[in-house]
Amino acid sequence: MPTLRQTSLPASGRREAPCTPCRPTLADPGAARRLFDQAENQLGPLDILVNNAGVVAGDPIADTTDEVFDAVLAVNLKSPFALIREAARRLREGGRVVNISTLNTVLVGPRMAPYASSKAALDCLAAPITRRRAGNR
């Protein structure tokens, strides 16, 4: 688990907001919980999660192995899912989840099918979060 390092990034107006970038490995199921535990211990209650992970497999679909496809899904979909689920349980009221996606979900290049499909699934995963009612996590 990486040590979280707090920095400040410009927010709207003249204020600055604390921001802690990190690169967790989410291969095991408890990693998202531990990441949130560590962040809350160092920073207090959290307001936002930004999912900005992505790997691209650049082979044509006919040459993409199951292992490569699974690896792309693990990084681009399963890891963000684990973080979104934990965020839904732990972000403060009014908290936000930001998922970085891609234009390739609608403009799919010939070597982008695994990447594009994983990001399209991430977009679908985010839809219920944006529509949820307060208190219905």
Residue type (1 letter), 126: A
Residue 18 structure tokens? 């604390």
Instruction: Give per-residue burial for 74-89: e unless 16+ CB within 10 Å, then b.
Output: ebbbbbbbbbbebbbe
Active-site annotation holder among 35, 53, 99, 115: 115
> Which residues have CB under 8 Å from 82's CB, separation 6+?
26, 29, 31, 32
Number of DSSP helices (H) and strands (E) in the chain, helices first? 4, 4
The span from the CA of 28 to the CA of 31, in Å, is 6
Active site residue 11: no
Residues with catalytic function: 115
